[in-house]
């Protein structure tokens, strides 16, 4: 069965190729290919201007030397030559890479800045390209890089910006991972460096713990590693809590004590859910001094808190005033 199918297929192909229509089609295709070939040869033989993306590579960097500001990865070179030569440039990666030898500009300094002039770059390109190729423009026309022979410091990261939560939530904590970075640079700069700031961050509407990558601010000639850190925001939900706090008197003379009616007041406050169990009545002080009572001459004490725990807000005291008496005690 398979042989019969192959035989029929072979006969169909032979019939198609020997038919008049197929011969005309093949002749047409042949002349199209010939015409395309002549057009391509003519095109490749004419001169054109074209942009080349030329890679830049810094070679022979000594061990222990850190490039704090790199060369740009590529430069754009506009050249003029025959189409065939330009085609070769596009197909050959080797013909589109400029190698800069670090040793050529190394003066032994602990840190420095190297500027590659337009004429130096053009000479490098001329050596790489064919003699027939004319360089029209080079962008950028000046290159530079900075280096440092291992002088570095570890410094903390500082936050710049604003982080806000949605209503009924608050920002419990804000930290970085990692919280410090390594900075390479010249000795005078690093000696005065206290921290590395983030780029300005605006983050709002948070209702849950969140994190994001944040870039760090640096300057030319300085390398920061890592160049970005993770900003972690811990968000908590506000809750309300009530505690019974006694009213106490201080600085009373021996044999005298304060008695208030009622003896305690209800303190209502807002606190985050994470700290709800950590704040209790003992963290609040409702107190008045003997001197305050004598000087006021009032029959009521206006209650106010002498201390307030961290994270507590929107405090209300009920009742706001209490009656009192100063009683004599047995010694």
Residue 26: its pLDDT value, please?
58
Strand partners, 325: 259
Q: Tell me the CA distances in angstroms from 26 to 11, 15, 23, 34, 37, one per residue in order.
A: 19, 14, 5, 12, 16
Unique residue bearing structure tokens 């606190």: 271
The beta-strand segments (E) located in 159-227 are: 161-165, 169-177, 180-184, 196-197, 201-206, 210-215, 223-225
Domain boundaries 47-148, corresponding CATH code? 2.170.120.40
- pTM greater than 0.85: no
Q: Is the pLDDT of residue 87 over 70?
A: yes
Listed residue (249, 261, 258, 263) closest to 326, CA to CA: 258
Class of domain 238-328 as given by CATH: mainly beta
pLDDT surpassing 90 at residue 1: no
Nearest in space to 229 (alpha carbons), one of 189, 195, 206 = 195
Task: Give the model confidence (pLDDT) of 161-219 as tens digits.
Answer: 999 999 999 999 999 999 999 999 988 899 999 999 999 999 999 999 999 999 999 99
Specify the DSSP class assigned to residue 110: S
Label residue 37 by pLDDT band (50, 70, 90).
Answer: low
Distance of CA 146 to the CA centre of its chain: 22
Quote the pLDDT of residue 158: 96
d(CA 291, CA 300): 14
The model's confidence at residue 3, banded by pLDDT at 50, 70 and 90, is: low
pLDDT in tens, 188-201: 899 999 999 999 99
SS3 160: coil
Whole-angstrom CA distances from 299 to 203, 246, 296, 303 are: 52, 18, 9, 13
Give residue-wise pLDDT tens across range 291-302. Answer: 988 888 788 999
CA neighbor of 155 nearest in space, from 178, 189, 182, 176: 182
**Is 3 in a helix, a strand, or coil?**
helix
pLDDT band at 5 (very low <50, low <70, confident <90, very high): low
pLDDT of residue 214: 97
Q: Would the pLDDT of 278 be above 60?
A: yes
List pLDDT tens digits, range 106-154: 888 888 899 998 888 888 888 888 888 888 999 988 899 999 988 899 9
Residue bearing tokens 């949605």: 166
CATH 3.40.50.300 fits 152-237, yes or no: no
Evaluated on CA atoms 174, 180, 184, 186, the torsion sign reads positive
Pairing verdict, β 201-206 and 161-165: parallel
pLDDT tops 90 at residue 317:
yes
């Amino acid at each position: 069965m398979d042989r019969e199918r192959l035989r029929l297929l072979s006969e169909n192909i032979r019939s198609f190729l020997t038919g008049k229509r197929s011969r005309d089609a093949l002749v047409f295709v042949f002349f199209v290919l010939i015409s395309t070939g002549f057009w391509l040869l003519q095109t490749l033989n004419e001169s054109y201007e074209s942009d080349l993306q030329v890679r830049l590579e810094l070679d022979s960097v000594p061990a222990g030397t850190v490039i704090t500001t790199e060369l740009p990865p590529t430069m754009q070179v506009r050249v003029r030559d025959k189409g065939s030569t330009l085609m070769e440039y596009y197909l050959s990666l080797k013909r589109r890479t400029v190698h800069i030898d670090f040793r050529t500009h190394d003066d032994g300094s602990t840190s420095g800045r190297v500027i590659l002039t337009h004429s130096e770059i053009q000479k490098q390109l001329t050596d790489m390209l064919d003699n027939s190729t004319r360089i029209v423009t080079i962008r950028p026309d000046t290159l530079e890089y900075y280096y440092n022979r291992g002088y570095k410091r570890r410094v903390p990261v500082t936050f710049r910006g604003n982080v806000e939560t949605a209503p009924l939530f608050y920002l419990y904590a804000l930290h970085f991972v990692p919280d410090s970075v390594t900075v390479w640079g010249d000795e005078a700069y690093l000696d005065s460096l206290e921290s590395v700031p983030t780029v300005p961050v605006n983050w709002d509407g948070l209702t849950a713990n969140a994190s994001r990558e944040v870039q760090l601010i640096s300057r030319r000639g300085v390398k920061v590693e890592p160049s970005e850190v993770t900003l972690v925001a811990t968000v908590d939900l506000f809750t309300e809590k009530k505690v019974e706090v006694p009213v106490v008197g201080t600085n009373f003379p021996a044999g005298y004590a304060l008695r208030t009616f009622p003896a305690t007041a209800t303190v209502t406050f807002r606190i985050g859910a994470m700290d709800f169990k950590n704040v209790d009545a003992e963290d609040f002080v409702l107190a008045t001094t003997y001197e305050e009572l004598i000087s006021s001459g009032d029959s009521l004490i206006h209650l106010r808190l002498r201390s307030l725990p961290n994270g507590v807000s929107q405090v209300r005291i009920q009742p706001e005033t209490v009656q009192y008496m100063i009683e004599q005690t047995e010694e």
